[in-house]
Amino acid sequence: MGTDSAAYVIGHISVLDEAKWAEYRSQVPATLAPWGAELLLRARKAKVLGGTHRHSDVVVIRFPDLAAADGWFNSAAYQSLIPLRKVAAEVDLISFAG
């Protein structure tokens, strides 16, 4: 393994309400900035090459370290968006550390 201390949050997403999802997405970047996070990818599933995958979209966010990823997720700014996220989409968020 390398010495990369970066952490990544990957979200697997199934949108339920496009308008509410757009509202949620527009507010997330402001919650990421204080944590030094970088949005690496937002994309729609092209096809499943092996196994199964129920979600249609994905997001990948890089943080300087796992503490920053945890800090972002637990921050008041992000926590205040979770009720909107829950009505906008089904989202599985997973953090990974390098």
Outline where the chain has alpha helix (H): 18-32, 66-74, 76-79, 82-88
Whether residue 1 lies inside any domain: the answer is: no
CA distance to 13, 14, 21, 61, per residue, from 90 (Å):
6, 5, 10, 18
User: Does the predicted model carry a pTM greater than 0.85?
Assistant: yes
| Domain residue limits at 65 | 7-46+53-97
pLDDT of 20-62, one tens digit each? Answer: 999 999 999 999 999 999 999 999 999 999 999 999 999 999 9
pLDDT-derived band at 98 (thresholds 50, 70, 90) equals confident
Domain total in the chain: 1
Whether residue 22 lies inside any domain: the answer is: yes
pLDDT at 43: 96
pLDDT of 64-82, one tens digit each? Answer: 999 999 999 999 999 999 9
pLDDT at 46: 95
